[in-house]
Structure 1
Amino acid sequence: MKISILDQSPISSGKTAGQALQASMHLAQMGEKLGYSRYWIAEHHDLPGLACSAPEVMLGYVGANTKKIRIGSGAVLLPHYKPYKIAETFNMLATLFPDRIDIGIGRAPGGSAEVTMALSDNFLEQVRKMPELVKNLLHFLNNDFSADEMFSKISAAPLPAVSPQPWILGTSEKSAILAAEHGTAYAFGHFMSEKERPDILKQYTADFKVNGMLKRPASILAVSAICAETTEKAEELALSGRAWQTQLAKGEGKNGIPSVEEARQYLNSDDHQSIDNSKRHMVVGNPQEVKAELQELQAVYEADELMIVTITHSYEDRIRSYGLIADQVLSSRPE
């Protein structure tokens, strides 16, 4: 089983955004040592508790401090930007870090309505144009506009020896169909989906059209997971993320990811149904339990790869969780 890391760069209570971003860089380094295939970092804007608003900046830092792990955006939110600029940026990264760059593409706003207005003149219109935006981005990455098209005379320089690998990210049929039609790789956000939807990944695979970049469909299932030496410890660590999600839903959470004790106090005074809801799409347990659940998810969704997102208050507990999962899932560790 191939496993990768999706990092939301969480800011723990009592910590700063700078400390969170440093912890993200160390996570990428550790992921490389553990044998993870990819490290992706997400884009969020003015969202309490998350530090990374510019994945492209962070990827330059991560790339310079790692050697071989693939790195990418999970995702760059395309409706906010012009495809040409995104292609230039990721071509630059691919020139600096050859054959290591993924460009995950998403359509979510990544923040509040006010943030969306600050970033985009007409976000909803750009979302409706998502197929056209993706098409143009792929042409810029491939440098293959036809001679009669407006952008045929320009290139998204510098042109790397190996182009960034595009992935479309989503949780719906629309994103799967878009990826299949354009022949790109596809990542399904299981941890963001309200229901189990293995049919979406299967639809993508069935409808996939070869476009010259990929010869066959490639899929990732992004899963929320926390692993500890014991089930009880893992469930305790998971309280922080569950409390934070509940706080965000209520317009709170400005202090970042709460400690386990802070989370316990908060949840004990809150509606316990919120805990049940937050558990629905999390894999939490000891190493053997987590491995079994991950294997079951991969089998059900028929995904090529699992990408794991882990939110804990302690950055050390987060790295420990990824380490325990690697010990169980990967057949051998790199020296």
Structure 2
Amino acid sequence: MLRLSVLDQAPISKGHTPEETLQHTIKLAKWAESLGYHRYWVAEHHNTSGLASSSPEILMTQIAASTQEIRVGSGGILLPQYSPYKIAENSKTLSALYPNRIDIGFGNSPGGSPITQKALTDHHIKPKEDFYRQASDLQGFMHNTLPRNHEFRLVKAGPRIDNPPAMWLLGLTENGAKNAAQLGIGFVFGHFINPKYGKVAMKRYYEEFTPSVNHKEPATIICIFVVCAETDEQAEALAITQDRWLLNVGKGLGTKVQPPEEINSDEYSNEELEQIKKNRNRCIIGSPSTVKKQLNQLAEAYQTDEFMIITNIYNFEDKKKSYKLIAEEML
């Protein structure tokens, strides 16, 4: 049986406020737990008017406090913008508060535009090639395993708990898979961003995985857009708001989700229709049986046993129902 999890970017639907959106995140986390989803992760985005998830660590605290068993995580913290030591302390504090429930997913994203990155780092931008060193340091601070000759060997990340959170590297390429494999941590492939290198990345991760203090065996998750309704036709009707949202994001036109009544597919240019078709490679749209069939096919292709589902449609109740229908079909 496949595991199902949720990634929430906290997208703000047009006409709604950030406050309402974050309350929806809490409600959706409770809903996902009641349906049997395994994890609930929240994203990190900056300098955007349409995504309310800017500080995953703070959101994770509220989600974990509002639920009982579901694993709570970040998808993902922008490691290059911060100190590995501080991330380790935030993470271990969360894990001390909610033992054996916290996942720390992190990635190599700059966090936005060049000026946004400068603001995040206070002008101290680290070179891209420094990422592996940072990830290794993060693992060392998490587990107190820094090498004896490391300059920070005597600096301990507190609180000094026995079971630090699980670490997951978010990636889109073979390089990300290689880094995760060499570190011996979990690998999350962002099919929802660009599926192009998915199969080769997963193959490399499995072939090169080295057991570590973090993971003894390879562990993978595929993150993908899914919109589900009772019929394929109903799912397609809901998905037009996600199609429009993806178009807008791609063009830099804004990140709020527009209502369906503002969307007229007849007004799309040929170029936009082609882009929507291309974006659909990042998605599964359909009835429960359609979604199940396509997820099972992808699971075989990727050799994974877990999917993390992201659903960025306009109506919150339709989003809840989408997750419910998937769970009823597959869990």
The structural deviation recorded for 1:264 is: 2.9
CA distance 1:173–1:54, shift in 2 (3 Å): same
Does the aligned pair in 2 maintain the 1:167–1:187 contact within 8 Å? yes
Q: Which residue of 1 aligns with 2:237?
A: 236
Does the aligned pair in 1 maintain the 2:232–2:285 contact within 8 Å? yes
The unaligned stretches of length 5 or more in structure 2 are none
Residues 279-302 of structure 1: CA deviation (Å, up to 9, x unaligned): 122100011101100111111100
The equivalences for 1:59-208 within 5 A come to 59-120=60-121, 121-123=123-125, 125-195=126-196, 197-208=198-209
Is residue 2:263 matched to residue 1:263?
A: yes
CA distance 1:126–1:66, shift in 2 (3 Å): farther
Alignment partners' CA distance in 1, 2:283 and 2:201: 19
Q: Residue type matched to 2:200 in 1?
A: D
> RMSD of the TM alignment (CA)?
1.4
Partner SS for 2:153:
helix
Q: Which residue of 1 aligns with 2:21?
A: 20
The structural deviation recorded for 1:194 is: 4.8
Q: Percent identity?
A: 38
The structural deviation recorded for 1:226 is: 0.4
Q: Which residue of 2 aligns with 1:58?
A: 59
Q: Which residue of 2 aligns with 1:39?
A: 40
Is residue 2:297 matched to residue 1:296?
A: yes
Does the aligned pair in 2 maintain the 1:39–1:69 contact within 8 Å? yes
Does the aligned pair in 2 maintain the 1:32–1:68 contact within 8 Å? yes
How many residues are paired up? 327
Bigger drift between 195-204 and 313-322 goes to: 195-204
Q: Residue type matched to 1:65 in 2?
A: S
Does the aligned pair in 1 maintain the 2:29–2:63 contact within 8 Å? yes
Alignment partners' CA distance in 2, 1:122 and 1:150: 20
The unaligned stretches of length 5 or more in structure 1 are 331-335
Residues 296-334 of structure 1: CA deviation (Å, up to 9, x unaligned): 11111001211111111011111110110000011xxxx
- Name segments (4+ residues, structure 1) moved above 6 Å: none
Alignment partners' CA distance in 2, 1:82 and 1:214: 23
Q: Residue type matched to 1:26 in 2?
A: K
Does the aligned pair in 2 maintain the 1:98–1:160 contact within 8 Å? no
User: TM-score if structure 2 supplies the norm length?
Assistant: 0.95
CA distance 1:170–1:65, shift in 2 (3 Å): same
Does the aligned pair in 2 maintain the 1:239–1:264 contact within 8 Å? no
Is residue 2:3 matched to residue 1:10?
A: no
Partner SS for 2:216:
coil
Partner SS for 1:153:
coil
Alignment partners' CA distance in 1, 2:257 and 2:314: 6
Partner SS for 1:22:
helix
Does the aligned pair in 1 maintain the 2:96–2:159 contact within 8 Å? yes
Does the aligned pair in 2 maintain the 1:80–1:126 contact within 8 Å? no
Alignment partners' CA distance in 2, 1:187 and 1:177: 12
Q: Residue type matched to 2:101 in 1?
A: R
The structural deviation recorded for 1:113 is: 2.1
Q: Which residue of 1 aligns with 2:325?
A: 324
CA distance 1:93–1:163, shift in 2 (3 Å): same
Alignment partners' CA distance in 2, 1:23 and 1:295: 29
Q: Residue type matched to 1:268 in 2?
A: E
Partner SS for 1:13:
coil
Alignment partners' CA distance in 2, 1:228 and 1:78: 36
